[in-house]
């Protein structure tokens, strides 16, 4: 009897549990439907803005022109007339070396020349005497009044006197050349600035003995800091994208938001390899008229691959790319604008391999949860899943895309647009939209928890017009 009662009680427990599970499931699905029904499209306005795609690297600042000032004579460094940071003008006295040895050589050379010039007078007189004897012997020989021996001797004495005089003259020339060299060495004991610049290093101290017999020792370095050269490290992965002549800018650790702009002038062909990391060196110059830049500063360098200033933009989430590029514009290339406002035809478009919409998604973004009926980027049946592939193709070539425009009365319209420069967040609209028009850029998920604002998105932490969560199918 007890067994039958227990079986009936167990069946009641099972039935009660099934009822509870069914009720919970009904509540869950009913709640899910209500939540889905409350999701709203994320709207964004077409606005005037700027788009910029860059490749980042690090770099070091160097003076564009510098001179190592060294010693050309040996001796003790007697006096330094400048310190680090001093501005030296061309011809300014920088340092002095003990010149007593050089002074002694100059005095010896001058004395040697004086002695040789005294001998020169005697040689000239001897030559005159030899000429007179030779002329006398010629007259006597013509009258047959002298011997053949005396005649030959007078001719030989004349030749010897002429040779002796010429030899002494050459010795005097050699001695004068030696004197000139000694005087030059004496002048080298005083070191003058070869050009105008700033003294950036002083490598020798007063009292130091310099040995210039084998290699000229460097005393100090003078650099022209009015123009600085940035040596940027370009990774092996980016070297195919970075080209000579492309615009580039950099920031410094202490410069705040200030940017210095330039143009890449050279890529050194020989890389540096450290721990199997291959880095190429790119060089570009910048003006430093206000002396805000110093040697060996660290620079955060950005190579501008494409940019557009003051153009009509929409979020990339509002676009669905079609397969076709724009033939008329593709032939000429999309005109892009660098950060200084100069036009650069054919330089537009995103960097190769980037995925649109990968930077700065709105709060509550849940990837892969689909779209609302009819699509959030346009009407039903629009091709999906091709944004990344099409956005990465043919940088700088205008492409066709479609957007869903929401009119003031709430109605939607699928519209064809032409897209130019594209970044991870926004895209340039060349045609098809006007300023202020609203487009559908995604879905606002009603009860999704808010996420912190991510760097790289629109101001306010998400896409324009957004509040609450976001659900999309990029």
Select from 155, 188, 221 the last residue of a domain. 188
- CATH number of the CATH domain containing 438: 2.40.420.20
Is residue 407 within 8 A of residue 434, CB to CB? The reply is no
Q: Are 344 and 458 in contact (CB under 8 A)?
A: no
8 Å CB contact between 404 and 440: yes
Q: Contact 247/263 with Cβ under 8 angstroms?
A: yes
Q: Dihedral of CA 27/28/29/32: which sign?
A: positive
Within a domain: 30 = no
Domain-terminating residue out of 188, 210, 239: 188
Domain boundary among 188, 213, 231: 188
Q: Which of 288, 293, 283 is CA-nearest to residue 226?
A: 288
Of the candidates 259, 397, 296, 370, the residue with the CA atom closest to the CA atom of residue 63? 296
**Together in a domain, 326 and 420:** yes
**Structural domain of residue 380, as residue ranges?**
40-49+311-472
| Residue 373 domain flag | yes
Asked if residue 271 is part of any domain, the answer here is no
Do 172 and 320 lie in a common domain? no
Domain assignment of residue 250, yes or no: no
Rounded Cα gap, residues 107 and 95, in angstroms: 23
Q: Whole-prediction pTM value?
A: 0.59
Q: Tell me, yes or no, whether 218 lies in a domain.
A: no
User: Which residues touch 401 (CB under 8 Å, ≥6 apart)?
Assistant: 319, 320, 321, 322, 416, 417, 418, 419, 427
* Residues 317 and 183 both lie in one domain: no
| Residue 433 sits in the same domain as residue 365 | yes
Q: What one-character-per-residue DSSP string does 18-72 give?
A: HHHHHHHHHHHHHHHHHHHHH-EEEEEE-EEEEEEEEEEEEEEEEEEEEEEEE-S
Query: C-alpha dihedral over 108, 112, 115, 117, to 10 degrees?
Result: -130
Number of domains in the chain: 2
* Total residues belonging to the chain: 474
Measured CA to CA, the distance from residue 11 to residue 17 in angstroms comes to 10
Q: In this structure, is residue 113 part of a structural domain?
A: yes
Render each residue's pLDDT in the chain as its tens digit; 474 residues.
444 445 556 566 566 666 666 666 665 555 555 444 566 888 899 999 999 899 999 999 999 888 889 888 888 898 899 888 888 889 899 999 988 888 888 999 999 888 888 888 888 888 888 888 888 888 887 888 878 888 888 888 888 888 888 888 898 999 899 999 888 888 888 999 998 888 988 988 888 888 877 777 888 999 989 899 999 999 999 999 999 999 999 999 988 889 999 999 999 999 999 899 999 999 999 999 888 998 899 999 999 998 888 999 999 988 998 865 555 444 444 333 333 333 333 333 334 433 333 333 444 433 333 333 333 333 333 333 333 333 444 556 788 999 999 988 889 989 999 999 988 889 999 999 999 999 998 887 766 555 554 443 333 333 333 333 444 433
Q: Same structural domain for residues 348 and 458?
A: yes
């Amino acid at each position: 009897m007890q067994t039958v009662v227990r079986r009936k009680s167990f069946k009641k427990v099972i039935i009660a549990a099934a009822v509870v599970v069914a009720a919970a499931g009904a509540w869950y699905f009913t709640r899910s439907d209500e939540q889905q029904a409350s999701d709203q499209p994320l709207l964004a306005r077409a606005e005037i803005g700027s788009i910029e795609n860059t490749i980042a690297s690090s770099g070091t600042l160097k003076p564009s022109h510098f001179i190592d000032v060294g010693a050309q004579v040996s001796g003790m460094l007697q006096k330094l007339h400048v310190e680090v940071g001093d501005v030296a003008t061309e011809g300014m006295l920088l340092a002095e070396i003990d010149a007593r040895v050089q002074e002694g050589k100059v005095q010896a050379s001058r004395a040697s020349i004086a002695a040789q010039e005294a001998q020169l007078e005697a040689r000239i007189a001897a030559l005159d005497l030899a000429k007179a004897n030779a002329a006398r012997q010629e007259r006597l020989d013509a009258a047959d009044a002298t011997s053949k021996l005396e005649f030959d001797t007078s001719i030989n004495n004349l030749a010897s006197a002429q040779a002796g005089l010429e030899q002494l003259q050459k010795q005097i020339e050699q001695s004068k050349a030696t004197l000139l060299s000694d005087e030059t060495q004496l002048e080298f004991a005083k070191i003058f600035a070869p050009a105008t610049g700033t003294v950036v290093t002083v490598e020798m101290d007063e009292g130091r003995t310099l040995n210039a017999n084998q290699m000229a020792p460097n005393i100090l370095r003078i650099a022209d800091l009015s123009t600085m050269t940035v040596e940027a490290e370009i990774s092996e992965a980016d070297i195919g994208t970075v080209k000579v002549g492309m615009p580039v800018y950099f920031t410094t650790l202490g410069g705040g938001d200030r940017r210095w702009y330039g143009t890449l002038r050279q890529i050194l062909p020989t890389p540096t390899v450290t721990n199997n990391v291959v880095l190429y060196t790119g060089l570009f110059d910048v003006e430093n008229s206000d002396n805000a830049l110093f040697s060996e500063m660290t620079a955060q360098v950005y190579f501008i691959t494409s940019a557009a200033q003051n153009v009509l933009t929409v979020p990339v989430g509002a676009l669905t790319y079609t397969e076709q590029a724009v033939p008329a514009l593709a032939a000429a290339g999309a005109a892009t604008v660098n950060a200084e406002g100069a036009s650069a035809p054919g330089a537009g478009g995103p960097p190769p391999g980037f995925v649109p919409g990968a930077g700065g998604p709105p709060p509550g973004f849940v990837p892969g949860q689909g779209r609302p009926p009819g699509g959030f980027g346009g009407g039903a049946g629009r091709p999906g899943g091709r944004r990344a592939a099409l956005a990465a193709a043919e940088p700088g070539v205008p492409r066709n895309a479609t957007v869903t425009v929401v009119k003031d009365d709430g109605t939607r319209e699928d519209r064809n647009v032409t897209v130019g420069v594209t970044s991870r967040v926004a895209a340039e609209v060349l045609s098809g939209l006007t300023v202020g028009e609203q487009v559908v850029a995604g879905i606002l998920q009603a009860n999704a928890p808010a996420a912190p604002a991510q760097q790289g998105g629109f101001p306010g932490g998400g896409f324009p017009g957004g509040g609450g969560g976001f659900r999309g199918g990029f």
